[in-house]
Amino acid sequence: MRHYSIIFFIMLSGYASCQDTIKHFKDSLPDKFHILENVTRNGETLPEIAIDEINVTKKMDIRQRFQWWKHQRLVYNVKRVYPYSVMVRDKLTEVNDTLTDITGDSERRQYLRKFEKDMFSEYEDDLKKMTITQGKILIKLIDRETQNTSYDLIRDYRGTLSAAFWQGIARIFGSNLKSRYDAFGEDYLIEKVIYEIEAGRI
């Protein structure tokens, strides 16, 4: 009887040990399994698995790192000011639609002064936080969105004297309100960034 008790105890111990082994085996299994396929080439069959292609590049040198950093700054600056250029385009459409219903010069000037005051009140703080570089890009993008330079817009809505005054201020800071946007020339990198923004990739 004692002999059977020992055998029973050994069986229980073995079962418990087996369960621990199975549990350990399950815990050590990866979450994803890769099924190998038998592929025959030149009369020889071997298991294979398809893996994703990776690109291995060498470490960037100083010049490449500088170009990468410069591009990242351009992306940041364009993303910062692009929404404002779109806003200018939309507001310009709104102003033109309203002016078509205003016939008197006095009412026209009054409307434009109020509109300008409202715009300054809403966006002045944001514009003050922009860097000179961002301001230059914004001038270019306003031309892109409205097909008019900033100088032309000021001249058309505020007069030649006002346009000349603000052009003088801009020149002091190294900017030019008459700057045109050249998507296929010097501004092609900006155009590429905008394309990526509009596609939702950055």
Q: What is the pLDDT of residues 7-31, one digit of tens each?
A: 444 444 454 444 444 445 455 555 5
Query: What residue type is 168 in one-letter code?
Result: G
Whole-prediction pTM:
0.67
- Does 113 map to a domain? yes
Query: What residue type is 187 in one-letter code?
Result: D
Count of domains forming the chain = 1
DSSP label at residue 181: P
Q: What does the block give as tokens for 84?
A: 């404002």
> Does residue 178 register a pLDDT over 50?
yes
pLDDT computed for residue 11 by the predictor? 47
Alpha helices in the chain (DSSP H): 2-28, 62-99, 105-128, 132-146, 150-158, 160-172, 188-198
- Does 64 map to a domain? no
> Does residue 1 register a pLDDT over 50?
no
Distance between alpha carbon 5 and the CA centroid of its chain, in Å? 74
- Closest of 173, 155, 153 to residue 164, by C-alpha: 155
- Does 135 map to a domain? yes
Residues 40-49 have a mean pLDDT of 82
pLDDT computed for residue 31 by the predictor? 59
Residue found under tokens 């790192």: 65
- Does 55 map to a domain? no
Question: How, if at all, do strands 44-48 and 37-41 pair?
Answer: antiparallel
- Does 30 map to a domain? no
- Does 91 map to a domain? yes
**Average confidence score pLDDT of the chain:** 82
pLDDT tens digits for 80-133? 999 999 999 999 899 888 988 888 888 888 888 888 888 888 888 888 889 999
Distance CA 53, CA 11 (A): 51
Helix (H) or strand (E) holding 47: strand 44-48
Distance CA 165, CA 71 (A): 33
pLDDT computed for residue 182 by the predictor? 95
Q: Which domain holds residue 141?
A: 78-198
Helix (H) or strand (E) holding 56: none
- Does 163 map to a domain? yes
Distance CA 198, CA 200 (A): 5
- Does 157 map to a domain? yes
- Residue 149 and residue 177 in contact, taking contact as beta carbons nearer than 8 Å: yes
